[in-house]
C-alpha cells in the first residue's frame, strides 16, 4: 500500500558526478532510509536509472519519484533540493504494469519482465522470418524484418516511437506491436492489441536466421519462440509533480513538445 506521509525517504543515484553530488546533499538534508522501510524512493539520474530502480523494486509497492540528474529525463521530475517532502505529498500517482516475456531456446524457457518493451532482433546480416499469433490465432504467417517489438503504454514513447510505432495514452488498455525495418509485408506498420492479449512469435529458419529476444535490458540469444503478456498482477507506482504527470507528457509528445 502506498503511504500518505513521506518522512522516510530512500535515495538512489546513478554514478554521474551530478547525481552523486545531489545524493550527498539530499541525504544530508532529509536522511537516507532503508528502502524496505521507506515511504518513497527518490531516484537521481536519467531515464536509465529510473528503469533500473523500477526493475529492482518491482514487488516492493514503494512509490518511486525521479528527479532529473541525467539527460532526457522523460520519466523524471525537475531537480530541486527544497521542499522535497511537500512535493512528494502533492505528487500524483501513476500505476503501470510490466510485460512478462517467455523466451524459448534449445535449453528451455526463460522469463524476464519489461517495463518498456519486449523486442526480437536479427543477430546476423540475415533478416528475421517470424510468424505472429495473437491469443492462439495466427495473424501473420511470415514477417520478414530486422525485428519486432511489443510495447507498453509507458514504453510507447521510447524505442517503439523510434521504430515509428504509435504513442499510447498511459491508461489505455492497449499494447503496441511494431515491426523494425519490415521488408515483407512492406506496408505493414504494426498493430494495436488489447492489453490482455497473449502474443506468440515463432522464429522461422532459426538456424539460418538466428534471433535474440530482449526484455528491456535482459537478452536471450538464439530463441525459437517468444511469448509476451502483460503482468497485470504487478503494480509499479510512479510519482509525478501535478501538471507534469506521465499521462500529460505522453499527450504532449504527440504534439511535438
Q: SS3 for 157? A: coil
Q: Angle at the Cα of 53 (from 51 to 59), degrees rounded to 5?
A: 105
| Catalytic position from the list 39, 47, 105, 128 | 47
The reply to whether 47 belongs to the active site is: yes
Cβ burial of 188 (10 Å; 0-12, 13-18, 19+) is middle
Q: Which three cell numbers stand for residue 69?
A: 540528474
- Among 127, 105, 101, CA closest to 224: 105
DSSP 30: H
9 neighbors 40 (Cβ within 8 angstroms) = yes
Neighbours of 256 (CB within 10 A): 5
Residue with cell 502474443: 199
Q: Which three cell numbers stand for residue 115?
A: 517495463
Q: Which residues contact 55 (CB under 8 A, 6 or more apart)?
A: 113, 115, 216, 217
* C-alpha–C-alpha distance, residues 145 and 177, integer Å: 13
* C-alpha–C-alpha distance, residues 37 and 144, integer Å: 50
Q: State the distance between the two ends of the chain, measured CA to CA, in whole angstroms.
A: 34
- CA distances to 23, 28, 96 from 125, rounded to whole Å, are 44, 52, 36
Catalytic residues: 47
Amino acid at each position: 500500500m502506498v503511504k500518505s506521509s513521506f518522512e522516510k525517504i530512500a535515495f538512489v543515484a546513478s554514478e554521474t558526478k551530478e547525481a552523486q553530488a545531489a545524493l550527498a546533499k539530499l541525504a544530508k538534508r532529509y536522511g537516507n532510509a532503508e528502502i524496505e522501510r521507506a515511504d518513497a524512493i527518490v531516484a537521481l539520474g536519467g531515464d536509465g536509472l529510473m528503469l533500473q530502480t523500477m526493475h529492482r523494486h518491482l514487488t516492493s509497492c514503494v512509490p518511486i519519484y525521479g528527479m532529473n540528474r541525467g539527460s532526457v529525463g522523460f520519466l523524471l521530475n525537475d531537480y530541486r533540493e527544497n521542499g522535497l517532502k511537500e512535493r512528494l505529498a502533492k505528487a500524483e500517482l501513476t500505476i503501470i504494469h510490466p510485460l512478462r516475456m517467455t523466451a524459448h531456446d534449445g535449453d528451455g524457457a526463460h522469463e524476464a519482465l519489461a517495463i518498456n518493451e519486449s523486442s526480437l532482433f536479427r543477430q546476423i546480416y540475415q533478416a528475421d522470418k517470424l510468424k505472429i499469433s495473437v491469443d492462439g490465432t495466427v495473424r501473420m504467417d511470415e514477417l520478414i524484418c530486422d525485428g519486432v517489438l511489443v510495447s507498453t503504454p509507458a514504453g510507447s514513447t521510447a524505442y517503439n516511437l523510434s521504430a515509428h510505432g504509435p504513442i499510447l495514452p498511459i491508461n489505455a488498455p492497449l499494447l503496441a506491436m511494431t515491426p523494425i525495418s519490415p521488408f515483407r509485408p512492406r506496408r505493414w506498420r504494426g498493430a494495436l492489441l488489447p492489453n490482455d492479449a497473449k502474443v506468440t512469435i515463432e522464429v522461422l529458419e532459426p538456424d539460418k536466421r538466428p534471433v535474440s529476444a530482449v526484455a528491456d535490458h535482459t537478452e536471450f540469444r538464439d530463441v525459437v519462440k517468444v511469448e509476451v503478456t502483460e503482468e497485470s498482477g504487478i503494480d509499479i507506482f510512479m510519482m509525478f509533480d501535478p501538471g507534469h504527470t506521465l499521462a500529460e507528457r505522453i499527450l504532449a509528445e504527440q504534439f511535438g513538445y
